[in-house]
Amino acid sequence: MTVVGARDEQPRTPEERWSVRSLSVTLLNLGIFGTAIAGTIGFFSSRLFWPADMFAPFRLQYAVLFLAAAVAAMVLRSPKTVVVSIVLFLWQAVSLVPLLAGSDGGEPVGDTIRLLHFNVLASNTNFDEVGDWAAQQEADIIVFQEATPEWGAEMEAALPDWVLLDTNTTQPGTYGIMMFAAPDVDVPDVAVSGVDFYPAIAATVRIDDQDLLIYSMHTLTPTFPSGVETANDQVDLAVRVAQAHDGPVVITGDLNATRWSPVYRRLTDQIELNDVADGAGLKGTWPDGLWFTGRIGIDHVLTSPGICSFDRQLGPALGSDHLPVIVDLAVSGCQ
């Protein structure tokens, strides 16, 4: 029996099923699926085994890939793929909102302090360029990480007007630290601690009638189990030092982790801290050479809730794979 108005639908030929368009949609869907798996591993990294840490930092990159997939799906006229891509994009993009829409610091109250943090890269030899640039920033506290003994000697010569707070924390390799203070900054106490061969510096700065603790550490990369364990120990030590301090706290350093990574969350889950990157935009610090992919933010300045960050800037490329971070802080807050 023939139904009036019914269309005779012929089965598609193999050539039609595997046209350029259908093959492109299939490959696009596979790419979306793979990216979604990576994003899911990163999202639940704190609950998974240690290699999951390496999938956590790339929320921006995942979001960009899903957005690009949605555009490609529109071109290929694949509505279902468009919807899936947009949903996945929103899933990743929502975590970027604090970077774009954080609160404005406002006008600082009382005295302010400028902090400069820079992982100089141990193998970098642009000593003069780094020293000249750092000297021009009018920073009150300058922290150099990956400071080898050679970097130590060069920066002491380049910053004769600043006070080197400790001389025992430079070392060969990539985990030395130097901290300088401007001559008019009151630093009543400096303590050196650390885990194993990875030093940390805790300096107490007297400002606005308060004792501000500035703690700098460089945590290990989470690329092997013992590295994750040591990084966790470094974070736990920083937490103990911060909790023992009666006053405001700033924790700064190359944590080798973004705000979505387990090491970072281990820190912020134990003590309440604000990230000065909130509201400053998508200004990642590493790696310098891959700016076109979107740098990730692994160099952090975290502050006690009462401290106001009213400016955060990134410095220029100076031979390191990191960009410097400069922040202006008001210990008594902003209005």
More confident residue, 123 or 45: 123
34 and 118, same domain (yes or no): no
Q: Is residue 137 part of a domain?
A: yes
List the single range of 102-106, 127-131, 233-237, 322-326 with lowest mean pLDDT: 102-106
Mean pLDDT along residues 140-157: 97
Q: Is residue 5 part of a domain?
A: no
141 and 260, same domain (yes or no): yes
Q: Is residue 335 part of a domain?
A: no
In the structure encoding, which two tokens stand for residue 209, read together? 């009638």
CA pair distance 323, 51, nearest whole angstrom: 26
178 and 255, same domain (yes or no): yes
Domain end call among 98, 119, 146: 98
Instruction: Give residue 194's domain range.
Output: 102-330
Q: Is residue 3 part of a domain?
A: no
How high is the pLDDT of residue 1?
Answer: 46
How high is the pLDDT of residue 284?
Answer: 93
Domain end call among 42, 69, 98: 98
pLDDT over 60 (residue 17): no
45 and 169, same domain (yes or no): no
Residues 6+ apart with CB under 8 A from 312: 276, 277, 280, 283, 301, 325, 326, 327, 328
Mean pLDDT along residues 62-71: 97
> Hey, how many other C-beta atoms are within 10 angstroms of the C-beta on 207?
20
Domain end call among 98, 114, 144: 98
171 and 244, same domain (yes or no): yes
80 and 214, same domain (yes or no): no
85 and 220, same domain (yes or no): no
117 and 59, same domain (yes or no): no
64 and 172, same domain (yes or no): no
Q: Is residue 4 part of a domain?
A: no
How high is the pLDDT of residue 10?
Answer: 63
Q: Is residue 286 part of a domain?
A: yes
pTM of the model: 0.89
More confident residue, 168 or 120: 120
Domain count, the chain: 2
Q: Is residue 9 part of a domain?
A: no
pLDDT over 60 (residue 190): yes
175 and 311, same domain (yes or no): yes
CA pair distance 168, 127, nearest whole angstrom: 20
| pLDDT 10s digits, 76-134 | 999 999 999 999 999 999 999 999 986 656 788 889 999 999 999 999 999 999 999 99
260 and 112, same domain (yes or no): yes
Q: Is residue 8 part of a domain?
A: no
pLDDT over 70 (residue 2): no
How high is the pLDDT of residue 50?
Answer: 78
Of 22, 26, 6, 3, residue with least CA distance to 14? 22
- C-alpha of 243 from chain center: 23
- The domain that contains 239 carries what CATH number? 3.60.10.10
Q: What are phi and psi of 242, to 5 degrees?
A: -65, -40
